[in-house]
């Protein structure tokens, strides 16, 4: 039976492979707010970001918002990732079950960096000023079970990017679904449309300056105010589709595998593969490979682990997760997550 499950999932993966051949031009660099594409949570990152059909904790607010409908207790998730080029990526999510009224969630995402010196042609070592740059996203989510098998969810979010005196803002929505089947130990199918929203445009005082229309004429006004016209850019829209199932399930051990296909509007399509071994609902070992078949992709191998505490005050549970992700020439990243159920 086990080999047939593997064969079935391999067949599904081949279908995904044909799906990845659809786009001939990558469109890299044609969208903004790239921080919205950074995966959230060490649990998902450790298993190759193949998580759209798993979506079983507060990080579902990013991966597949419909998954929060499966959360039975209040849940608070905090994640920190040492991201590329000395930047810091942070996520906080809160999930609140409302019994028969569904589940709501709040999320905050931030990409930040240390302040940098302001340099000019005349003062290349710095003017004495410093500037900052950062991105944030704030989301409000709602999900519910339509049946015992089918879940839906929606997130509305505010997005802001800023650098020194310039900023851009916009709005987007995520829509996700989960469906549990009777096949192969309850195989789950998940899908999400992510970052469907408004184009955004930079604005601020750094786009305003003064000019002289005709420098050849003495006495002409050299303080005519003008603005640099800034283009609008699309958000990184993505469609992620995945399946997952338990290929081994005993009283002590559960081995789960997952396959996701990603169709973005700013790159080639790719596949994420991931697996997790759970022992006695206490220890979790994970491995995966993200961006499989992505042309010119960097790295992809990932692994991680998780540990769940014994029940604490009022049966609260604390879960710690760690993930390592290889990014090739961009070096490696480390992600840490604490998830509290109460």
- pLDDT (tens digit per residue) in 233-245: 899 999 999 999 9
Residue 311 banded pLDDT, cuts 50, 70, 90: confident
Q: Which residue has the higher pLDDT, 299 or 170?
A: 170
Q: What is the pLDDT of residue 97?
A: 96
Q: What is the pLDDT of residue 214?
A: 67
**DSSP-derived pairing of the beta strands 188-197 and 224-227:** unpaired
Q: Which two tokens stand for residue 271?
A: 């596949």
Percent of the chain past pLDDT 70, that is, above it, reads 89
Region 144-163: mean pLDDT is 95
In whole angstroms, give the CA distance from residue 56 to residue 244.
12
Block residue for tokens 């002590």: 252
Q: What is the pLDDT of residue 264?
A: 93
Lowest average pLDDT, out of 4-13, 38-47, 213-222, goes to: 4-13
Quick check: pTM over 0.75? yes
Region 322-340: mean pLDDT is 92
What is the domain class of 2-117+128-199+234-341 according to CATH?
A: mainly beta
What distances in angstroms separate CA 106 from CA 38, 78, 138, 146, 340, one per listed residue?
Answer: 18, 12, 8, 21, 15
> What pLDDT digit, counting tens, does each position of 244-300 carry?
999 999 989 999 999 999 999 988 899 999 999 999 888 999 999 999 888 877 778
Q: Which residue has the higher pLDDT, 336 or 21?
A: 336
Is the pLDDT at 24 greater than 80? The verdict is no
Region 129-139: mean pLDDT is 92
Alpha-carbon 337 to chain mean position: 14
Instruction: Give the 3-state secondary structure percentages of the chain, helix then strand then coil, rounded to 5.
Output: 15, 50, 35
Q: What is the pLDDT of residue 15?
A: 52
Domains of the chain, by residue range, sit at 2-117+128-199+234-341
Q: Which two tokens stand for residue 100?
A: 């028969």
- Contact status, residue 317 vs residue 294, Cβ threshold 8 Å: no
Region 176-200: mean pLDDT is 93
Percent of the chain past pLDDT 90, that is, above it, reads 60
Q: Which two tokens stand for residue 161?
A: 């990017």
Q: Which residue has the higher pLDDT, 298 or 135?
A: 135
Judging by beta carbons within 10 Å of its beta carbon (0-12, 13-18, 19+), is residue 304 exposed, middle or buried?
Answer: buried
Q: Which residue has the higher pLDDT, 26 or 49?
A: 49
303: which strand partners? 287, 324
Block residue for tokens 């992709």: 297
Region 90-110: mean pLDDT is 96
In whole angstroms, give the CA distance from residue 66 to residue 240.
13
Residue 3 is given by DSSP the state H
In the predicted model, what is the mean pLDDT of the chain? 87
The DSSP result for 40-72, as a single string, is --HHHHHTTT--TTT--STTHHHH-GGGGGG--
């Amino acid at each position: 039976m086990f080999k047939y499950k593997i064969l079935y999932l391999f067949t599904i993966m081949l279908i995904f492979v044909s799906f990845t051949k659809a786009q001939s031009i990558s469109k890299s660099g044609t969208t903004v707010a790239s921080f919205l594409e950074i995966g959230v949570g060490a649990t998902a990152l450790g298993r190759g970001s193949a998580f759209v059909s798993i979506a079983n904790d507060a990080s579902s607010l990013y991966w597949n918002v419909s998954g929060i409908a499966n959360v039975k207790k209040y849940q608070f998730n905090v994640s920190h990732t040492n991201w590329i080029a000395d930047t810091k990526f942070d996520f906080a999510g809160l999930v609140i079950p409302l019994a028969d009224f569904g589940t709501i969630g709040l999320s905050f995402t931030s990409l930040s960096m240390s302040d940098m010196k302001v340099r000019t042609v005349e003062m290349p070592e710095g003017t004495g000023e410093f500037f900052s740059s950062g991105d944030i996203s704030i989301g409000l989510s709602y999900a519910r079970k339509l049946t015992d098998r089918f879940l839906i969810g929606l997130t509305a979010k505010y997005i802001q990017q800023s650098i020194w005196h310039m900023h851009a803002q916009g709005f987007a929505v995520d829509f996700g679904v989960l469906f549990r089947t009777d096949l192969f130990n309850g195989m789950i199918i998940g899908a999400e449309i992510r970052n469907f929203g408004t184009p955004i445009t930079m604005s601020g005082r750094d786009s305003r300056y003064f000019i002289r229309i005709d420098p050849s004429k003495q006495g002409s006004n050299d303080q005519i105010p003008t603005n640099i016209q800034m283009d609008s850019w699309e958000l990184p829209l993505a469609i992620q589709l995945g399946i997952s199932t338990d290929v081994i399930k005993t009283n002590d051990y559960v081995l789960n595998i997952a396959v996701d296909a990603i169709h973005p509007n700013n790159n080639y399509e790719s596949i994420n593969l991931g697996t997790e071994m759970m022992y006695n609902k206490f220890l979790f070992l994970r491995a995966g490979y993200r961006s499989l078949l992505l042309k010119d992709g960097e790295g992809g191998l990932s692994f991680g682990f998780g540990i769940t505490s014994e029940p604490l005050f009022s049966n609260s549970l604390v879960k710690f997760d760690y993930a390592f992700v290889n990014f090739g020439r961009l070096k490696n990243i480390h992600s840490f997550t604490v998830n509290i159920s109460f």
